[in-house]
A = this chain, B = another copy of it.
Amino acid sequence: MYGKFLHVDLGSGSFRDHVVPEEIARKYIGGKGLGVYLLDSLTPPGTGALDPGNVLIFLTGPFTGTPFPTSGRFVVVTRSPLTGMYVDSHAGGHFAKELRMAGYDGIIVTGKADRPVYLWLEDGKAELRDASDLWGKTVDDTVFAVREKTDGSARVAVIGPAGENLVPIATITMDSDSDKSRAGVAGRGGSGAVMGSKNLKAIAVRGTGTIPVAEEGPFREQVAEIVKAINANDQIHTRRIVGTSSLVESMSRTGILPSYNFQQGYFVPIYGLVSTNLRHYTKRDVACSNCPIICGKVLEDDGHPVKVEYESIALLGSNNGVGKMPLLTKAVRICNQLGLDTISAGGIVGFAMECRQKGILPEAPEFGDAEGQAKLLEDIAYRRGLGAVLAEGVRAAAGKIGKGTDHFAIHVKGMELPGYEPRATWGMALAYATSDRGGCHQRAWTVLGELDGHLPRFSTEGMAKTVKTVQDERAAAYSLVVCDFAPYSQERALACLRHVTGWDISEEEYLTAGERIWNHIRMFNIREAGISRKDDTLPPRMFEDPLPMPPRGEEKVSLKREDFDRMLDEYYELRGWDSDGRPKAETVERLGIQVRI
Contact = CB atoms under 8 A, between A and B. Distances in A.
A453 B253 CA distance: 11
Contact of A253 (B253, B325, B456): B253
A277 interface: yes
Contacts of A451: 253, 550-551
Contact of A280 (B241, B272, B553): B241
Contacts of A249: 249-250
Nearest to A231: B280
Interface stretch (A202-210, A232-240, A572-580): A232-240
A276 interface: yes
A268 interface: yes
A242 interface: yes
A448 to B, nearest CB: 9
A293 B516 CA distance: 55
A110 interface: no
Contacts of A452: 268, 270, 550-551
Interface in A299-353: 324-325
Contact of A277 (B238, B270, B276, B325): B238
A279 interface: yes
B453 A276 contact: no
Contacts of A268: 452-453
B550 A276 contact: no
Contacts of A279: 237, 241-242, 279
Interface in A241-268: 241-242, 246, 249-250, 253-254, 268
Nearest to A253: B253
A451 B254 CA distance: 10
A271 B451 CA distance: 13
A276 B237 contact: yes
A239 to B, nearest CB: 8
Given A250-B249, A276-B241, A280-B240, A235 B271 contact: yes
Contact of A453 (B237, B250, B551): B551
A277 B272 CA distance: 21
Contacts of A275: 275-276
A51 interface: no
B274 A238 contact: yes
A111 to B, nearest CB: 47
Contacts of A552: 453, 456-457
A9 interface: no
Kindly name the residue among A272, A324, A551, A552 whose own CB sees the greatest number of chain B CB atoms within 10 A.
A551
A275 B276 CA distance: 9
25 contacts: A234-B274, A234-B277, A234-B325, A235-B271, A237-B276, A237-B281, A238-B271, A238-B277, A238-B280, A240-B280, A241-B277, A241-B280, A249-B250, A253-B253, A253-B254, A253-B451, A268-B452, A270-B452, A275-B275, A450-B551, A453-B550, A453-B551, A453-B552, A456-B552, A457-B551
Given A250-B253, A253-B451, A456-B552, 14 more contacts: A235-B271, A237-B276, A237-B277, A237-B280, A238-B280, A240-B276, A241-B277, A241-B280, A246-B276, A249-B249, A279-B279, A452-B550, A452-B551, A453-B550
